Amino acid sequence: MTTLTICTPDDWHLHFRDGDILTETVAATARCFQRAIVMPNLVPPVVNAEQAMAYKARILAARPAQSTFEPLMTLFLTNATTPEDIMAAKASGVVAAKLYPAGATTNSAAAVTDLEAMYPVFEVMATQGMPLLIHGEVTDHHIDIFDREKVFIDQKMSKIVEAFPHLKVVFEHITTSDAAQFVLDASDNVAATITPQHLLMNRNDLLVGGVRPHNFCLPVLKRNTHQAALRQVVKSGPAKFFLGTDSAPHAKEAKENACGCAGCYSAWSAIELYAHVFEELDALDKLEGFASHYGADFYGLPRNEGTITLVREEWTLPDEIMLPDGRPIVPFFAGQKVSWKLQA
């Protein structure tokens, strides 16, 4: 096979950031995705409808000329979020709300400290048909970082899903066989996104031969048996698993740092990296469902009408990209070869 044409994909988990950088990040995603779920972990976070719509306007203003890319906005849940905030957000077109356990990741200090206190908010989300997007890791200091997703499932996720059978829940960026199995065993209201880095890499790619800060993301890469389980699940192709890059730009200086930021900036090669993985798995026929159908179906949105074409052509990711403020950023998979390329 030398070309592959699929329905235009969407990215169901993405960080654009704000300000000048939007001309870089929005263009990178609009290159091949028609829509993206935009994460709300700005500083300060996007906590109400008004802020979400203002952020949406800034994203739209940064789109390349002729682009029809559509950002899908989300709300950042805090201890202070009320059921009324959810109703107002839904009415103004906000698509989903994101639950970060406080301190779980980048810019999440203002997030939720008591999950059970959020149950009235989840109740309204269920009746409004608004999906709850969950960063599924506990933050307790004594829990090993490699176990934080599994402990979250046992202590929190299973309870939320049981208490709200009608709530749509997306278990974001899953990294373990435990998470994949949890989603497979749950009702059709529970789905998951999977990033390119968690399909392509395991913790050896983070730590063997020296620390590789550009492969550091959260949840952190896990052992190879978990990577293999995620690969197996996308190869088998159930509709509960769909594309979410978690593309998360941090300037080079913030990654190559004594306290380096978590996040892989994968937008410039996202669809190509997924194609690369699906080809390795001999499952290119499953790419379209994962990238272009199942996310839209889960969110109750129409599938895209256009198509994109990927060409079988080897190319090398650049070592660096220049941000609008003049600082370099190192893209995910920098300097490495990918075997598919989006046709211009």
Beta carbons within 8 Å of 29's beta carbon, 6+ residues apart: 11, 14, 16, 36, 69, 247, 267, 270
**Residue 143 interface partner, choices Zn ion, ligand DOR, none, CB cut-off 5-8 Å depending on type:** none
Q: How many helices (H) and strands (E) does the chain have?
A: 14, 13
Q: Give whichever of 11 and 246 is closer to Zn ion, judged by the CB atom.
A: 246
Cis peptide before 331 (omega within 30 of 0): no
Please provide the DSSP assignment of 196-224 as one string: HHHHH--THHHHTTS--GGG--SSPP--H
Q: Shortest Cβ distance from residue 139 to ligand DOR (Å)?
A: 12
The span from the first CA to the last CA of the chain, in angstroms, equals: 18
- Our finding on whether 215 is near ligand DOR (CB under 6 A) is no
| Calpha distance 263→256 (Å, rounded) | 12
246 catalytically annotated = yes
Look at residue 195 and give the partner it binds from Zn ion, ligand DOR, none, a contact being a CB closer than 5 to 8 Å depending on partner kind: none
Should residue 102 be labelled a site residue for ligand DOR when binding is judged by CB under 6 A? Answer: no
Residue 246, interface with Zn ion (CB under 5 A)? yes
Which stretch in 126-134, 142-150, 210-218, 245-253 sits in contact with Zn ion by CB under 5 A? 245-253
CB 248 → Zn ion: shortest distance, Å?
Answer: 6
Partner touching 48 among Zn ion, ligand DOR, none, CB below 5 to 8 Å by kind: none
- The minimum distance between CB 222 and Zn ion, in angstroms, equals 16
Range 85-89 contact pairs with CB under 8 angstroms and sequence separation of 24 or more: 85/47, 85/48, 85/49, 85/121, 86/121, 86/124, 86/125, 86/128, 86/130, 87/124, 87/128, 88/48, 88/49, 89/48, 89/49, 89/52, 89/130
Q: Which of residues 9-48 bind ligand DOR (CB under 6 A)?
A: 15, 41
Cα 27 → chain centroid: 17
Of 8, 81, 105, 266, which one interacts with ligand DOR (CB under 6 A)? Answer: 105
| DSSP-based three-state secondary structure for 271 | helix
Distance CA 289, CA 200 (A): 19
Size of the site for ligand DOR (CB under 6 A): 11
Should residue 178 be labelled a site residue for Zn ion when binding is judged by CB under 5 A? no
CB-nearer residue toward ligand DOR: 172 or 178:
172
Using rule CB under 6 A, residue 251 touches ligand DOR: no
Q: Does 218 participate in binding ligand DOR (rule CB under 6 A)?
A: yes
Report the C-alpha gap between 338 and 320 in whole angstroms. Answer: 16
Our finding on whether 217 is near ligand DOR (CB under 6 A) is yes
Residue among 21, 52, 230, 248 that touches ligand DOR (CB under 6 A): 248
Q: Which of residues 74-93 bind ligand DOR (CB under 6 A)?
A: none
State how far the Cα of 148 lies from the Cα of 138, in Å rounded to an integer: 5
Whole-number minimum distance, CB 60 to Zn ion, in Å?
21
Q: How far apart are CA 123 and CA 271, in angstroms?
A: 35
Stretch that binds Zn ion, among 82-90, 243-251, 274-282, 286-294 (CB under 5 A): 243-251
Using CB distances below 5 to 8 A depending on partner kind, what does residue 41 bind out of Zn ion, ligand DOR, none?
A: ligand DOR
Question: Residues 6 or more apart from 7 whose CB is under 8 A from it?
Answer: 288, 292, 293, 303, 304, 306, 307
Q: Residue count of the chain, please give it.
A: 344
Q: Does 135 bind ligand DOR (CB under 6 A)?
A: yes
Among 45, 101, 136, 263, binds ligand DOR (CB under 6 A): 263
**Contact 244/13 with Cβ under 8 angstroms?**
yes
User: Which of 18, 154, 246, 325 is the catalytic position?
Assistant: 246
As measured in angstroms, the least distance from the Cβ of 217 to Zn ion is 8
Label residues 200-227 b or e (16+ Cβ within 10 Å = b): bbbbeebeeeeeebbbbbbbbbbeeebb
User: Whose Cβ is closer to Zn ion: residue 6's or residue 214's?
Assistant: 214
Give catalytic residue positions: 246
Interface ranges with Zn ion (CB under 5 A): 246
State the residues that interact with ligand DOR by CB under 6 A.
Answer: 15, 41, 105-106, 135, 217-218, 246, 248, 262-263
